[in-house]
Amino acid sequence: MAYRWCTFLALACTASVAIVRAEPSPPDVRAVITEVLWAGSDVSSSDEWVGIGCIEGQEGMVSTGGVERCAVGGWTLTSVNGAGQEVTIARLTVGASIPAGSEAVISRMTREASRLDVDPFLISPDLTLPNTKLLLRLRDASGAVADIVDDGAGSPLAGANPSGGTGRASMERIDPRASGTDAANWRTATESRGFDAGAQVMGSPGLLEETEVTDVTEETKDDGTSSSSVSSVSSASSVSCRSVVPDIVIQSGSPRGIGKITINVQAVAREGSLQGAVCRWEYPDGWKSESCNPPVRTVRTEGASAIRLAVTDACGNLTTRDLPVEVISQTEEEIAQRCIPTAFTGVLLSELSPMGDEWIELVNHSGMERILCRWSIDDGDGGSAAFALDAQRIGDGGRLLLPRKLTSIALNDDGDSARLFAPSLRGQSGGLVDVLTYEDIEEEHVLARREDDGTWLQTPYPTPGDRNRFRDPLAVSGRASLAITAALPNPAGEDDGGEWIEITNIGGRPALLRGMSLIIRSPSGRENRVALPADAALARLEVMALHGDEFALRLPSDGGTVVLVDTDGNALSALSWDHTGEGKIVRASADRPEVVRAEVLAVIDGDTIDVRTLDDRGALADAMLPDVFRVRLLGIDAPENREPGSAEAAAALEFLLADRPLHLLFDRQRNDQYGRFLAYVEDAETRDDIGRLLLRRGLVSVLTAFPFARMDDYRAVEEDARRDAVGIWSTFTRGDILQSRKTNDVLQTIVSDGFAVAADPPPGIVASGTLLRLRTDINAALFVSVNSGAYQLSDGDLLINAPAVIRAYAVASGVQPSCGTVATPVWSGRYDVYQPVEQPVTIGEILPSPPLGETEWIELMTTGSGVVSLGGWTVDDVRGGGSRPWVIPLGTILSAKEPLLLRKDQTHLTLNDSGDDIWLLRPDGSVSDHANYAHLKRGQSWTPECVTSTPTPGTENRCESTPVLSLIKGLKSKKTKARKPRTSPAGFPPLLPAVSWSDGSSLTMDIRSVADTRGALTLAILILTMGVQGAALWAVRRQGVAA
């Protein structure tokens, strides 16, 4: 974000005035809030974020690798909700830091789902920014306020939220050292930087630039004129213009079409700003516009031409840009002459919308322009007629939008298919390139393909002609994507507290650290286990540093090993070092992070060996490997014993490994279903990959049962062997038999061992943030659908933050998904979510014996000031007996202003007139409140304060003028031997109140049993001298009531 530390100039006529900036914050301000997008973006009003800037030259900063940083580990960002409560909306990971002079973005949404073109420093779903009464506090790890932004009254101090969502703008802090509550220190953003191309939102997320401050003092001379003295290079007003580098983006449509083109373009600034600039457009048909965002235009001028943009910036510089367009004649003769197939691959389905203005989008990932001659699309057999894509073209990385009004392809809302065909090498259409089959689609959703793994998801963000966007309700944990990438075992100077370990998320999804820990081993074998923060998560490629003074890390400088393990004790990553000098950082090799040195004991067959680790074995041997174990060469499959080629493969493997030290390298999956370790096997001296050598000689084939990093390379080597017809590929029959054998093996395993998908926890009501684990009882590929009919490949770990219907099925490894006999039935489960609450929820009143014509009820209340979601809570009368417990429906809300009344016709709970228990249980089974009442007369209700003949459902409880002190909670008394109660002399009314124990721990004292004023006076004296509890206990002792 760019800052202009503004010069304030005051004009005076009679006196000399010095203009001074607002008083800055204390010099140790370090990190402050520098930018806030509270209105959202043109994508969604939920696309909100806050920028935290690390200001250079401050005290209290830390230095890592020679870079000054603001240490913000454990800091929190808070807001004020509608009830006036301060709530935490973001919590920074322990050990987090921001480089000096940079801005970290805390976002509510991921980069893919938002307009951000920068990776968020932290993704916090709780980051909700109000559009009125904005008040943000940045607190350090101790809870002390480090910065305050806005004043909590009226509209925010800056920013824009125009109707329609287009043109929303962030509020930018002018001087980060000046007060964040001063309206003069904030401005509305006028530039759009750090966003996706074509974004209709102003701001500069992740950009922090400081412009030198100019101090100006203006004086009024005796003659009434004024002069200014400038104590800097230039005044702020001297920067009056900024050159702009414009560009043209296509918001919708295509620049090439048959008979016409319909296109919507926009001018954007690749550098500089369009503020103050003039845009002039000229279209091939002569139409002109002076808007930087002109309306949609249809052009029918045939032939190749261009749409021209001329931009004059605020400095007077003129820059032109041309967008080539072409309108092709519609005559069949011209089409036939032009259409010669040149492209056969490189184009896939990207997005489709079955609702509203239906359309299908294609994307070109080939690396070059594609002309789609003889390509076609349809919606499956028996559907609409196929649409020929002749003469359509897509640029490299571009997208082609095909609306229904062009293709006449009707996509069904309740399920359909989309298929893309390419020409064969003979120039005839018919080769299936891509297909998508879907089930029901949610309203106002589209289906879009992820760029990272090619899976399809439903998304509420249609992006025709632009990059796909997503809002995933579940986040994959990505445990195996975490790696220990660096460590400092021997810091310069004093070691205590200066050590650190760096963990990086090297995967493509966010990763949770819940339940993980580090095991630190010294050369002597001594171990120390350090638990990682339970609520920590790392975004894609995010790095977290664990410092010794925060986590009590003690790394041995004379050599050691640190292992990252998950909740089940599985080693995910490891890093080892020998004796290190002071200040030397140990880093993991990117391509060889975990190596074990071993020797061969026996060759079992062409892809399996028994090995023994050597003395200098690596970190994983220390962590989880025995001295002797069996290894399956990762990524290859040799013919089984007695099959053609099995003897040749085993002999070759034995020859390659004879009397040679080995290196075993482990990938993401460590074991197969038989307990064998999976590893690449390399010659320790030549570094030859043994599996690759066997593939090139045609002795083995690629096994894709387990995902592994070298899969693409292995497949390419196998193709070379197939092409050269060597080894098992020397005859078609032998290779075909081998592939058939693989399929049969998998089928036999499924028949003998069973094959199903299991879920932990099972479907039902779970707390927000619960980790769902889907597993199969044999190794298989797992496909998961979340609130949609589109399945995606998954590792089975899903974080549930919102209600979701989850479906899953598994396909046996190595078998195509089209073979239905090797897939599990579809498992389905619904998970409803409750939000854990901290404020108390209690039983406020019970009416077990209502007047005739009325019904029994139970009243719940909360003493907190917030709103509580009671969905999933349980009300029961006798735990383990009595009526069936009643589960409160999801969506049920309780507030302090309005108690919740539960009627018998809702709960079906039968309350006994002679006395009963009522239990209020949270969704996790813990007790929120418990009430016990004795016999009540008809029309009487029980309350925590009294038993009353005036029930008050939904309103404040009301006791009679002579109350009953009931349930004196916490009052305990030793049980006394029952004895005959004392009575008053004959003819005198009782002087003492009747007392009884209502449940084992609470005492009931009925004042109404005192019959006259003399008894009431006696009781009053007792209460005044002994207190209520003392009076009750004295009455117990006098009357002999057993506790």
**Taking the domains of the chain in order of start, what are their residue ranges?**
22-212, 245-328, 347-471, 476-587, 598-752, 757-834, 841-948, 965-1043
Q: Is the pLDDT of residue 107 over 80?
A: yes
pLDDT at 559 over 90: no
Q: What is the pLDDT of residue 327?
A: 84
Which of 552-556, 570-574, 629-633: highest mean pLDDT? 629-633
Other Cβ atoms closer than 10 A to 570: 14
In this structure, are residues 789 and 441 in contact, taking their beta carbons and an 8 Å threshold?
yes
Tell me the pairing of strands 608-613 and 595-605: antiparallel
Mean pLDDT within 22-39: 68
Q: What is the pLDDT, as a whole number, of residue 814?
A: 43
| Per-residue model confidence (pLDDT) at position 632 | 92
Out of 107-121, 316-330, 607-621, 794-808, which region has the weakest mean confidence (pLDDT)?
607-621
Judge whether 856 and 911 are in contact, CB under 8 Å. yes
Report whether pLDDT(476) > 70. Answer: no
Q: The tokens of 692 are what?
A: 């690759």
For the purposes of burial, counting CB atoms within 10 Å of the CB of 508, is it exposed (0-12), middle (13-18) or buried (19 or more)? middle
Question: Which of 19-33, 335-349, 1020-1034 has the least mean pLDDT?
Answer: 19-33
The architecture CATH gives domain 347-471: Sandwich (2.60)
Predicted confidence at residue 797, as pLDDT, reads 85
Q: How confident is the model at residue 795 (pLDDT cuts 50, 70, 90)?
A: confident
As a CATH number, domain 476-587 is: 2.60.40.1260
Q: What is the mean pLDDT of residues 897-903?
A: 87
Residue pair 95/83 in contact (Cβ under 8 Å)? The answer is no
Dmax (CA) for the chain in angstroms is 126
CATH topology of domain 22-212: Immunoglobulin-like (2.60.40)
Structure confidence by residue, pLDDT tens digits, 831-875: 887 766 667 889 999 999 998 888 999 999 987 777 787 878 899
Cβ contacts of 133 within 8 Å, gap of 6 or more: 80, 152, 153, 154
**What is the pLDDT confidence band of residue 789, given thresholds at 50, 70 and 90?**
low
Buried b (16+ CB within 10 A) or exposed e, 98-133: bbbebbbbbbbbbbbbbbbebebbbbbbebebbeeb
CATH topology agreement for domains 347-471 and 598-752:
no
Tell me the fold of 841-948.
Answer: Immunoglobulin-like (2.60.40)
Q: Which two tokens stand for residue 249?
A: 């983006």
The arithmetic mean of pLDDT across residues 194-200, rounded, is: 82
Which of the listed CATH numbers 3.40.50.720, 2.40.220.10, 3.40.50.620, 2.60.40.10 matches domain 245-328?
2.60.40.10
Q: Name the pLDDT band for 636 (thresholds 50, 70, 90).
A: very high
**pLDDT > 90? residue 568:** no
> What are residue 603's DSSP bridge partners?
609
Residue 1007 has pLDDT above 70, yes or no: no
Q: What is the mean pLDDT of residues 432-444?
A: 81
Q: What is the pLDDT of residues 505-524, one digit of tens each?
A: 765 556 777 778 898 988 88
CB 662 within 8 A of CB 598: yes
Q: What single-letter amino acid sits at 893?
A: I
Read off the pLDDT of each residue in 653-669 and give the average, rounded to a whole number. 83
Q: Check: CB of residue 416 under 8 Å from CB of residue 453.
A: no
Which among 328, 272, 273 is positioned nearest to 302, based on CA atoms? 328
pTM: 0.28
For residue 1027, the model assigns a pLDDT of 58
Q: Does domain 757-834 have CATH number 2.60.40?
A: yes
pLDDT of residue 510: 67
Structure tokens at 542: 């995010």
In DSSP terms, which residues pair with 1005 in a beta bridge?
Answer: 965, 995
pLDDT (average), residues 580-593: 64
Predicted confidence at residue 723, as pLDDT, reads 84
List, in order, residues 6 or more apart from 417 with CB less than 8 Å away: 379, 380, 383, 435, 436, 437, 438
Q: Residue 860: its pLDDT value, please? A: 92
pLDDT at 546 over 70: yes
**pLDDT 10s digits, 817-835:** 333 345 677 888 888 877 6
pLDDT given at position 974: 33
Which is more confidently placed, 953 or 1029? 953
State which amino acid sits at residue 142. S
pLDDT at position 738 is: 55
Two tokens at 902? 């539960």
User: pLDDT band at residue 215, thresholds of 50, 70 and 90?
Assistant: very low
pLDDT for the residue numbered 847: 93
pLDDT at 537 over 60: yes
Q: Is the pLDDT of residue 204 over 50?
A: yes
pLDDT of 1021: 62
The pLDDT of 348-370, averaged and rounded, is 88
Predicted confidence (pLDDT) per residue in 720-754, tens digit: 888 888 888 875 445 555 555 555 555 555 555 55
Burial of 23 (0-12, 13-18, 19+ CB in 10 A): exposed
Query: What is the CATH number assigned to the segment(s) 598-752?
Result: 2.40.50.90
- The percent of residues above 70 in pLDDT, for the chain, comes to 73
Angle among Cα 567, 568, 569 to the nearest 5 degrees reads: 95
pLDDT at 540: 61
Q: DSSP letters along 360-389, please?
A: EEEEE-SSS-EE-TT-EEESSTTSSPPEE-
- pLDDT tens-place string over residues 228-281: 333 333 333 333 466 788 888 887 777 878 778 888 888 888 777 787 788 999
Rounded mean pLDDT, 190-212: 78
Distance of CA 684 to the CA centre of its chain: 42
Token readout for 391 is 């003469």
What value does the mean pLDDT take over residues 76-93?
88
Using the predicted structure, report yes or no on whether residue 29 has a pLDDT greater than 80: no
Q: What is the mean pLDDT of the chain?
A: 75
Query: Is 80 exceeded by the pLDDT of residue 619?
Result: no
For 961, residues 6+ apart whose C-beta sits below 8 A from its C-beta are none
Is the pLDDT assigned to residue 137 strictly greater than 60? Answer: yes
pLDDT band at 622 (very low <50, low <70, confident <90, very high): very low
pLDDT of residue 1003: 45
> What pLDDT band is residue 135 in, cutting at 50, 70 and 90?
very high
Pairing of strands 387-388, 318-328: unpaired
Which of 386-393's residues contact partners 24+ apart within 8 Å by CB, and which partners?
386/421, 388/429, 390/335, 390/339, 391/256, 391/258, 391/328, 391/335, 391/338, 391/339, 392/254, 392/256, 392/257, 393/256, 393/369
Average confidence (pLDDT) over 63-78:
83
Q: Is the pLDDT of residue 1001 over 50?
A: no
Counting residues of the chain whose pLDDT is more than 90, the rounded percentage is 13
